[in-house]
């Protein structure tokens, strides 16, 4: 089964765009807000190696942010994940 996780902040426009993109594709995902959690923010940094949001993981593999998600879609590489 496909597992998608997105680390987000409320004020991040790219986070909203990434969620809208996945919703339009009809794909379920788990949103992990780092707004009020230093622990979740640190977890994201350790997993992704980056401090920026969104950070998107597909089947526990870090793919980057919203631009990276679009790039994979444009290259038809999201198909390898079943999207």
Question: Domain extents for the chain?
Answer: 4-81
- The number of angstroms, rounded, from the C-alpha of 1 to the middle of its chain's C-alpha atoms is 17
Handedness of CA 15, 17, 23, 25 (dihedral sign): negative
* pLDDT score recorded for residue 67: 97
pTM of the full predicted structure?
0.92
Q: Where are the alpha helices (DSSP H) in 1-83?
A: 13-24, 38-48, 66-74
Condensed to tens digits (0 to 9), the pLDDT of residues 23-62 reads: 998 889 999 999 999 999 999 999 999 999 999 999 999 9
Fold of the CATH domain 4-81:
Glutaredoxin (3.40.30)
């Amino acid at each position: 089964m496909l597992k998608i996780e997105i680390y987000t902040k409320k004020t991040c426009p790219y986070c909203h765009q990434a969620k809208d993109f996945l919703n339009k594709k009809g794909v379920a995902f788990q949103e992990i807000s780092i707004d009020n959690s230093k622990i979740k923010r640190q977890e994201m940094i350790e997993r992704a190696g980056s401090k920026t949001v969104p950070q998107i993981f597909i089947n526990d593999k870090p793919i980057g942010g919203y631009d990276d998600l679009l790039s994979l879609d444009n290259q038809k590489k999201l198909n390898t994940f079943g999207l």
